Amino acid sequence: MRNQFGAKPTNQDLKKYSSSDNWDGNKFINLEKTGMNISFQDIPKLLYKQFCEKKGREPKIPIPVAEFKRKDFLAPSDNAKFIWYGHSVILMRIKGQTMLIDPMFGSNAAPISPFSVKRFSKNTLDIIEKLPGIDLLLISHDHYDHLDYDSIKLLKSKVKRFGVALGVSRHLKKWNIPMDNISEFDWWDKIDFEGIEITFTPSRHFSGRGLKDRAKSLWGGWAFKTFNENIWFSGDGGYGKHFKEVGERLGPFDFGFMECGQYNEKWHQIHMFPEESVQAAIDAKADKIMAVHWAAFALAQHHWKDPIERFTIKAQEMGISNSRPQIGELFSVKSQQTKNWWEKID
C-alpha cells in the first residue's frame, strides 16, 4: 500500500517548484481564491453518505465496456480518433500517434482508504494488455482517480514518453519510471510532439495523495492542435475566469472533453455543476463537447446518471453538439455518438 502514496516532495523538488509563477512559497495556487466549505462537523455525515448511502449513486449492474478493436483504432485517418474508458480516461489517436490521458483503469478510486470506492465496470485493468504501444501518456494531476499505481505498473512497459503536471514526476520516479522519459508542464507550457502542439492549460482545482502533500504538485488540462483539428481536455476543476482565457489563447476548439461529475455544494469551487461545464465549454470556444469524469466512481452524493442528464439538457438548450459514446466505443469529432445508452442501465 505504501507505493500507492507515491513520493513526498524533496527539498530539491520544492526548489524547482519555486520557479513557477503559480507557487506561493509553500504550495501551488489557483488563479482565483478557491476552497471547500466543509467544517469538522460536516465530516461524519459526509463519510456516512459516501460509504453507506449508495442507492442510486452506483448502477445496479456493471456498466459494460465495448471491446477494443485494434485494427479500427490504428487505421490511418486524417482526423483524431478517441475511446473513452469511463471517468477521465481518454485513449487518442492523432496524426499516427497514440496518446492516453489520465489512465485510471483500476478497480478502486480510494486505495488507501479503509472503505473502497469501486468502479462501475469490471476487469478494466485487463484492457491495458490489449492496448497498442503508447507514444505519449499524459497526467493532468495526481489524485487517485486520475493517477493509479496499479495502472501505471501495467502500462509502463508500453509507454515511450510521459507528460505530467509539474510535481507529478516524483511519483513516477518512485514507481521506477526513468526521469529521462518524463516531461513536466507548468501552465501554458507547450511542446511540439510529432507535429502536434500540446499545451498544458490552467484549471481551478488542487492536488495531493497524502495528508502532507496537498497542492505540492500542479493540476490542469491539455490542448492538442494539428494542422486541421484543435482538441481540448479541460481537466478537473471548478468554474472560473480561466476558461475564457483558454479560449482566447488557444481556441476555438473543434472538440472539448469537459469535466462533469463528482460535484457537491460543499466543494463547488473545485468541481463544476453540469450546467457550468457546458458554459465553460462555450467560454473556451468549443464547438462540440463531451462530458467526462462520470460513469466510473461514486465520489460525490449525486445519482450516477445526474451528470450526463443535466449536461445533455443544458447542451441542447444552448445549441451545442454533445457526443455521448458508450464506454470503450471508438468515435471522432465528425462521427458523433448521440444515443442515451445509460437509460438502459438502472
Flag whether pLDDT at 95 surpasses 80: yes
What nine digits make up the cell of 294?
A: 462520470
Q: Is residue 25 included in any domain, yes or no?
A: yes
Q: Write down the pTM of the prediction.
A: 0.96
- CATH number (domain holding residue 141): 3.60.15.10
Give the mean model confidence (pLDDT) for residues 206-234: 96
Flag whether pLDDT at 48 surpasses 70: no
Q: What percentage of the chain carries pLDDT values higher than 90?
A: 89
Q: Is residue 342 included in any domain, yes or no?
A: no
Give the mean model confidence (pLDDT) for residues 137-166: 98
Contact 117, 144 (CB under 8 A): no
Confidence of residue 55 (pLDDT cuts 50, 70, 90): confident
Residue 15: give the domain boundaries. 10-334
Partnered with residue 93 across adjacent β-strands are 81, 98
Question: What is the model's pLDDT at position 3?
Answer: 86
Partnered with residue 161 across adjacent β-strands are 136
For 279-290, how does the pLDDT look when each residue is reduced to its tens digit (9 = 90+)?
A: 999 999 999 999
Q: Is residue 1 included in any domain, yes or no?
A: no
CA distance 172 to 179: 8
Give the mean model confidence (pLDDT) for residues 5-11: 96
Give the mean model confidence (pLDDT) for residues 25-41: 87
143 Cβ contact partners less than 8 Å away, ≥ 6 residues apart: 207, 208, 209, 236
Could you tell me the CA-to-CA distances from 198 to 19, 185, 285 in Å, in that order? Answer: 21, 10, 17
Flag whether pLDDT at 43 surpasses 70: no
For 240-279, how does the pLDDT look when each residue is reduced to its tens digit (9 = 90+)?
A: 999 999 999 999 999 999 999 999 999 999 999 999 999 9
Contact 125, 153 (CB under 8 A): no
Question: What is the model's pLDDT at position 47?
Answer: 67
Q: Is residue 239 included in any domain, yes or no?
A: yes
Q: How many domains does the chain have?
A: 1
Confidence of residue 211 (pLDDT cuts 50, 70, 90): confident
Q: Is residue 116 included in any domain, yes or no?
A: yes
The residue to which cell 457526443 is assigned:
323
CA distance 48 to 206: 24
Q: Which amino acid is at 340?
A: N
Contact 80, 92 (CB under 8 A): yes
Confidence of residue 42 (pLDDT cuts 50, 70, 90): low
The residue to which cell 438548450 is assigned:
317
Flag whether pLDDT at 74 surpasses 70: yes
Q: What percentage of the chain carries pLDDT values higher than 70?
A: 96
Question: What is the model's pLDDT at position 133?
Answer: 98
Q: Is residue 102 included in any domain, yes or no?
A: yes
Q: Is 65 left (phi over 0), alpha (psi -120 to 50) or beta?
A: beta
Tell how far CA 278 is from the center of its chain.
Answer: 16
Q: Is residue 55 included in any domain, yes or no?
A: yes
Question: What is the model's pLDDT at position 196?
Answer: 98
CA distance 192 to 200: 12
For 300-337, how does the pLDDT look when each residue is reduced to its tens digit (9 = 90+)?
A: 999 999 999 999 999 999 999 999 999 999 999 988 77
Rounded to the nearest integer, the mean pLDDT of the chain is: 95
Q: Is residue 175 included in any domain, yes or no?
A: yes
